[in-house]
Amino acid sequence: MTAATTSPRAGARTAVTPGPAGDVAARTLGQRLDAATAGLPAPLVVVDLDALDANATDVVRRAGGTPVRVASKSVRVRHVLERVLAQPGFAGVMAYAAAEALWLARHGVHDVLLGYPTVDTAALDAIAADPAAAAAVTFMVDDAAQADLLAAAGRRHGRRLRVCLDVDASLRVGRGPFTVHLGVRRSPVRSPDAVAALAAVVERRGLEVRGVMFYEAQVAGLPDTSPAVRLVKAASVRELARRRVDVVDAVTAVLGRRPELVNSGGTGSLEVSAAASGVTEVTAGSGLFAPTLFDGYRAFDARPAAYFGLDVVRVPGAGWATVFGGGYVASGPAAATRLPRPVWPAGLRLDPREGAGEVQTPLRVPTRADLRIGDRVWFRHAKAGEVMERFSDVHLVRGSRIEATVPTYRGEGLCAG
C-alpha cells in the first residue's frame, strides 16, 4: 500500500510506503499539514491546536491544583500566550527580558514575573514610569547591585518596585574542593542565611520583596535518559524540598510576613514541585509545544505541537534531497540534540557533516521515499519557543485547515533578546 501527498507548491507527487510503527501517524500528520498549508510558501511554521490544547490540559492536570505560570520564552507568540492564560489553572507569565515584560504589561498581562535579572536601565525606567506596568511586573534579583538599579528607577518615579529573589536550586554533592555542582549556574545565593540577608538588603533599598524562586533545572530540564540521571533527580528533589522550607522561613522572619510568591519547577518537574511544601506556583512553557528535547521524560508524554516546513529545492543525487532553510539550531551545548529533526516524510536524516544549514539543508532520503523538487518536509525544533524568532507569522492549524494566522513576537516588532 502506498500513500500519496501532493506537493504544496509544484504539484509533484511523492509515493511513500509505510515503514515501522509510527510511520502511519507521521504520514497522517504530514498529510494534514500539507493540506492545511497547500499554496503557502515555505519556510513556514505551524502550531497544531489540538495538540497545544491537549498539552495545556495535561500541564494543569500535572500541577494538581497549583497555579501554572507560563514561560513566555518557550512560546514567543502573544496570541498563544493569551489563549493559554484564558484556560483555568494558568496564572501569569514568566518573561525573559525587561523590555518584553513592559510590552506584555502594555498588552494587558497583569502579572508578569521577570524570570532573570536585568541591567536594561531604559526598560527599567519605562516600567517605573508607567503605573500599570510597575504594578504588573515583578523583577528578579540575586545581587545587591541589581537591586540598586531597580531602586534608582523607582526613586525617579516615586514607586516601590516589587522583586523576587532567585535562589540557587542546584544539587551539590561532596565537601569543600571535592564538591560537585549538579545543575545550572544561576544565582549566587543558596543558603537560608544568604537569602535572608539579600531580602534585608533589598527591603532597605526601598524595594518590596514579593517572593522567592527556585528553578531546579537538573530536574525540570533533564530527560530521564539513565538510572544515574533518575538518581540525581530524586536526590535533588529531596534536598531542595528541605532547603526550600528553610529559605522561606528565613525570608519570612526578615519580612515579618510570608512571601506572596514561591515559584518552583518547570515542565519536567511539575508534579514534584507543585506538591512541595510552601510552593504557591509552578512554571511551564516547553510542555505546550513539546520540542524534541522533551521526548525522553518518563513522567509525562506531551504531544508535539509546533512544526516548521521547508521545501525541496534540489535533488543532488540518488538518496538525497536539499530543502531551503533549516538552520534553526537551539541554544545550549553544541550537540546533535540541538539540531532540528525531520519528521515527515518518515526516515529522513540530516547529514552529520553539514547539519542544518543557514540557507539550505541536505537530507538523506530512504529508498522508500522519492522526494522531488517542490515537495514539503516537516521538522520539529529542539527547543520550544526559539524557532518562533525565525518567523514573522505562525499558522494555527486545526485538523487539516488553518484556523488563524497570527504574528510571532518578531512579527509584532518585539526583539527582546
Q: Do 276 and 391 have their domain in common?
A: no
Q: Is residue 294 part of a domain?
A: no
Residue 119 lies in a domain: yes
**Least-confidence region, from 41-45, 111-115, 217-221, 375-379:** 217-221
C-beta separation of 275 from 222 below 8 A: no
- 167 and 219 share a domain? yes
Name the burial class of residue 241, with classes exposed (0-12), middle (13-18) and buried (19+) by CB atoms within 10 angstroms of its CB: middle
Q: Measured between alpha carbons, how far apart are the two ends of the chain, in Å?
A: 48
pLDDT band for position 48 (50/70/90)? very high
Domain boundary among 250, 284, 318: 284
On whether both 191 and 163 belong to a single domain, the answer is: yes
Same domain, 271 and 158: yes
Per-residue pLDDT, averaged over 130-159, amounts to: 97
Short-list 259, 264, 286, CA closest to 274: 264
pLDDT at 88 over 50: yes
Q: Give the pLDDT mean for 28-56.
A: 96
Backbone φ and ψ for 17, nearest 5 degrees, come out as -95, 125
* In-domain check, residue 180: yes
Residue 162 predicted with pLDDT over 60: yes
CATH number at residue 31: 2.40.37.20
Full-prediction pTM beyond 0.85?
Answer: yes
At 3, the pLDDT band (50, 70, 90 cuts) reads very low
Q: Do residue 371 and residue 223 come from a single domain?
A: no
What does the DSSP 8-state code read for residue 20? S
Q: How far is CA 36 from CA 48, 361, 392, in A?
A: 11, 23, 18
- Per-residue confidence (pLDDT) for residue 11, from 0 to 100: 36
CB–CB of 249/237 below 8 Å? no
Helix 144-157 × helix 192-204 angle, to 10°:
20
- Find the CATH number of the domain harbouring 245: 3.20.20.10
Can you give the pLDDT at residue 15?
33
Same domain, 171 and 272: yes
What pLDDT, on the 0 to 100 scale, is given for residue 20? 47
- pLDDT tens-digit series, residues 61-76: 999 999 999 999 999 9
- Other Cβ atoms closer than 10 A to 246: 14
Asked if 314 and 391 sit in the same domain, the reply is yes
Which of 284, 316, 350 terminates a domain? The answer is: 284
Per residue in 197-217, pLDDT (tens digit) is 999 999 999 999 999 998 876
Residue 359: per-residue pLDDT: 95
Helix (H) or strand (E) holding 366: none
pLDDT tens across 364-388, in order?
999 777 899 999 999 999 998 999 9
- 247 falls within a domain: yes
Same domain (yes/no): 243, 105: yes
The predicted structure's pLDDT at residue 13? 32
How many other C-beta atoms can be found within 10 angstroms of the C-beta atom of residue 118? 22
Pick 25 or 60 by higher pLDDT: 60
pLDDT at 395 over 50: yes
Whole-number average pLDDT of the chain: 88
221 pLDDT exceeds 80? no
Note whether 280 and 305 are same-domain residues.
no
Lowest mean pLDDT across 108-122, 159-173, 278-292: 159-173
Residues 6+ apart with CB under 8 A from 220: 265, 266, 267, 268, 269, 273
Model pLDDT for residues 295-353, shown as the tens digit of each residue? 877 777 889 999 999 999 999 999 999 999 999 998 988 889 999 999 999 999 999 99
CA dist 21 → 34, 296, 346, 347 (Å): 21, 18, 11, 12
Q: Is 71 a member of any domain?
A: no
| Contact (CB, 8 A) for 337 and 295 | no
Residue 53 scores a pLDDT above 80: yes
Domain's final residue, options 251, 284, 317: 284
Residue 339 burial class via C-beta count within 10 angstroms: exposed 0-12, middle 13-18, buried 19 and up: buried
Which bin fits 383, alpha (ψ -120 to 50), beta or left (φ > 0)?
A: beta
If asked whether residues 139 and 178 sit together in one domain, one would say yes
Task: Answer yes or no: is 77 within a domain.
Answer: no
Residue 9 has pLDDT above 50, yes or no: no
Q: What confidence score (pLDDT) does residue 34 get?
A: 96
Q: Is residue 86 part of a domain?
A: no
Do 121 and 207 share a domain, yes or no?
Answer: yes
Range of the domain at 322: 3-48+301-410
- In the chain, how many domains are there? 2
Q: Are residues 306 and 384 in the same domain?
A: yes
What pLDDT is attached to residue 171? Answer: 65
Q: Can you tell me the distance from the alpha carbon of 69 to that of 93, in angstroms, rounded to the nearest whole number?
A: 5
What percent of the chain has pLDDT above 90? 70
Q: Considering the domain boundaries, does residue 290 fall inside one? A: no
Give yes or no for residue 96 having a pLDDT over 80. yes
Cell of 189: 545565593
